[in-house]
Chains A and B, each alone.
Chain A
C-alpha cells in the first residue's frame, strides 16, 4: 500500500488562488467568515442593546472575511483585486479595533473578533490579512514573470500580442 498517505501530488500550482497553497488561505478565511458571522448573528439577535458597537463590528468583520473568501476562491484579476481590498480593510480593522479595545474598554464591553488584536482567536485575525497580502503579492509577481516570458517569445498565432496590457 504505497498510497496510504496519498498519491503523489501534481506539480506546483500555476499561481491561481483556486488551487494549491491559496486553498489553505481560502479555508482559513472561510472558517473566520463562518465564525465571525455566526457570532455576530447570535449577538445581534439576542443582546444587541448591551454593546451595539461591538456587535455591529462583529457583523462588519464577518462581511469583510466573506468578501475576502469569495475573492480568493474566485481568483482571477478581479477576484484578487477584491481580496486585496478586503485584506487591507481587515488589517486596518484589526489594528484600529485592537488599539481602541485596549484604550477604551467602555466602548467594547463585549469582545469582537478584532478586540485585543484578535487575542480571543489566537491572534490569527492579525496574521491572516498579512498572509493574504503576501500571497496576493506573490501571485502578482508570478503574473509579471509569465508576462515577460510571453513578451520574449511571442506565440505563433500572436496570442501574446493580444494578451499584453496596453
Chain B
C-alpha cells in the first residue's frame, strides 16, 4: 500500500463528507459536486486496490490476511453504496447519508494501512 494514496483517499473522503453535510445544512439533495467528489474518491480507492493486488501477487502477505481482504474489497463498495442511497433519498438527509459513507471510508483506509503494515508477531 502507498501511504500517499491513503492520504489522498482520506482527503477525498473528507471532501465527500463535507459536501454531504453542506447539502443537509442548505436543505438540498445531493448533486453534481457530490458525484464528482465521490468519483474522485472511488478512483483513488481503485488505484490503491490495483497496487495492493499487485503486491499480493508478488507474494506480500499482511498477517491478518482475511480481515485485510475483507476491508480491501468492502471499502471500494462504500462510496458506490453511499451515492446510490443518497440519490434515492428525496429529503435533505441524502447528504448526511453520503457523509457517513465518506467518514466510513476515511476510517477504513487507515485501518487497512495499519493491517498492511503490521508485522506478523
Contact = CB atoms under 8 A, between A and B. Distances in A.
Interface of A: 1, 3-10, 12-13, 19-21, 23-24, 27-28, 31, 34, 38-39, 42, 45-46, 122
A9 B27 contact: yes
- Binding site secondary structure of chain B: helix
30 contacts: A3-B31, A4-B31, A4-B32, A5-B23, A5-B28, A5-B34, A6-B30, A6-B94, A7-B28, A8-B27, A8-B28, A9-B91, A12-B91, A19-B89, A19-B91, A19-B93, A20-B93, A21-B93, A23-B85, A23-B91, A23-B94, A23-B97, A24-B96, A27-B82, A27-B101, A31-B100, A34-B74, A42-B66, A45-B66, A46-B66
A6 B91 contact: no
In the A-B complex, list the 6 residue pairs whose CB atoms are closest, starting with the nearest.
Answer: A6-B31, A9-B92, A6-B28, A6-B29, A10-B90, A20-B91
B33 interface: yes
A27 B78 CA distance: 11
Contacts of B23: 5-6
B89 to A, nearest CB: 6
Contacts of A23: 85, 89, 91, 93-94, 96-97
Given A19-B91, A38-B70, A42-B70, A5 B97 contact: no
A13 B67 CA distance: 38
Given A27-B85, A46-B66, 6 more contacts: A8-B27, A9-B94, A13-B93, A24-B100, A31-B100, A38-B70
Contact of B29 (A8, A13, A28): A8
